[in-house]
Amino acid sequence: LKEKLTQEKKLLDEYTKRINSFQKELSKAEQNYSAKEAQVAQLTQACEKTKVLVEQTEAEFNTKLSESAFETEAAVTKALMDQDDFNQLNKSYEDYKDKYKTLCTKLEANKADSSQLGRIQKELSVLQEKIEKVQTDHEEELEKKSQLQEEKISFENKIKKVNQLTKECEQLQAKNEALFMLDNDVSGRNNPKKLPFDSWVLGTFFEDVVRSANVHFQTISSGRYRFNLDYQKESGRGMHGLDLTVTDSFTGFERGTSSLSGGETFMASLSLALALTDVVQAQTGGITLDSLFIDEGFGSLDGQALENAIAILDQIREHRTVGIISHIESLQQAILSQLHVEKTNTGSTIHII
């Protein structure tokens, strides 16, 4: 772009010099033409005056000739001027005429050259626009270059910052390697069973809950079902250790709790709830759980399971109060102390039986 701009400037200077030269020659020719034209006008006026003077002189000459001693004009001419003087005067007149024609020719040539001045000026205008465009493009490129330079410096500073932080991170990691190892062990990422520490602690407590729940679960299910605590990692990278499975003594297979039916799920939930109250009360010393409330769920049990559940609740009633919310008719017959809630259009009414 700089080289192109220099070439365009040189071309502009050359055209400018040519225009200045043409203008000087035109001005000089116009001055010469004006001077010569004035001379021609003077000569023409002089010729007219001379013509009149000649006519007057001829008249006077004829008058004088008739009055003089000369017989002819030739005699008078011979007496006044010789041929050499006349030729010299005539030659001077012809020279003035030639110079006048030359000046007129030059003047026309200069006028023709001045017609090219407009074309040259137009070309100079176009050239000037090109130069201005090149200058604008050059300034834009410089601005882009400056922006890219600033971005480069910014990226270099960011890279230095990242390298510094990486180095600091490596130093902190090396300094706290023991803590990272402990964290991996506690979180379960670095122990063989992939079992987090909190899951292991809860699992230890949960073993007591499952052990107590199996007593209730086998009683309610007439010995068919029992819980198993699963410490195995199922799949992928997930941590695990508090999962339950159920062993079905009728089939001899172990299956997940999600495969239990509605009645089986209620029996399992009731067993775990009862076991949880037993374990909490046993491990907390002075804390006692004097009441237990069970909301629905008995309708999903068959007759034998319902009788087994009522038998367990009767045993619990010896130590704490058991409240059951249900619409099952057989429960109403088995439980003597009851609160009946009757709905009316003005509100609900409680009856103690």
- What one-character-per-residue DSSP string does 153-193 give? HHHHHHHHHHHHHHHHHHHHHHHTHHHHHHHHHHHTSSSTT
Better-scored residue on pLDDT, 289 or 205: 205
Considering the domain architecture, whether residues 144 and 226 belong to the same structural domain is answered as no
- Do 111 and 215 fall into the same domain? no
The verdict on 133 and 233 lying in the same domain is no
Radius of gyration over alpha carbons of the chain, in Å?
66
Residue 302: count other Cβ atoms within 10 Å of its Cβ: 9
Q: Are residues 143 and 226 part of one domain?
A: no
Whether 221 and 263 have beta carbons less than 8 Å apart is answered as no
Number of domains in the chain: 2
Q: Whose structure tokens read 């037993």?
A: 278
Is residue 232 located within the same domain as residue 136? no
82 and 203 within one domain: no
pLDDT surpassing 70 at residue 143 = yes
Amino acid at 144: K
175 within some domain: no
What's the confidence (pLDDT) of residue 107?
Answer: 67
Q: What share of the chain is helix, strand, coil (3-state, %, to 5)?
A: 70, 10, 20
User: Which of 127, 157, 187 finishes a domain?
Assistant: 157
Buried (b) or exposed (e) across 7-25, using 16+ Cβ within 10 A?
A: ebeeebeeeeeeeeebeee
Q: Is residue 188 assigned to a domain?
A: no
pLDDT at 235: 44
Q: 296 Cβ partners below 8 Å, 6+ apart?
A: 325, 326, 327
Let me know whether 153 and 10 are in one domain: yes
CATH number at residue 333: 3.40.50.300
> Up-side HSE of residue 198: CA atoms within 13 Å toward CB?
3
Whole-model pTM?
0.41
The per-residue pLDDT for 178 is: 76
**Closest Cα to residue 267, out of 257, 254, 277?**
257
Question: Is 166 within a domain?
Answer: no
Instruction: Examine residue 20 and state whether it is found in any structural domain, yes or no.
Output: yes
Within-domain flag for 165 = no
Does pLDDT of 289 surpass 60?
yes
d(CA 163, CA 320): 67
The pLDDT value given to residue 246: 92
Chain-centroid distance of CA 27 in Å reads 64
Domain-located, residue 172:
no
The residue among 99, 129, 157 that closes a domain is: 157
* CA within 13 Å, CB half, 63: 6
CA angle 290, 295, 299 (to 5 degrees): 130
Examine the domain organization and report whether 343 and 206 are in the same domain.
yes
Q: Is there a single domain that holds both residue 205 and residue 348? A: yes
Q: Please report whether residue 178 resides in a domain.
A: no
Range of lowest pLDDT (22-31, 142-151, 179-188): 179-188
Contact 201, 218 (CB under 8 A): no
Structural domain span for residue 224: 197-352
Q: Are 7 and 152 in a shared domain?
A: yes
**pLDDT tops 80 at residue 183:** no
Name every residue whose Cβ is closer than 8 Å to that of residue 274 and which is 6 or more positions away in sequence. Answer: 212, 213, 216, 292, 312, 316
CA 323 to CA 335: how far, in whole Å? 10
Position 170 in a domain: no
Q: 106 and 37, same structural domain?
A: yes
Co-location of 9 and 153 in the same domain: yes
Domain C-terminal end among 92, 125, 157: 157
Per-residue tokens: 95: 């020279």
pLDDT band at 193, cuts 50/70/90? Answer: low
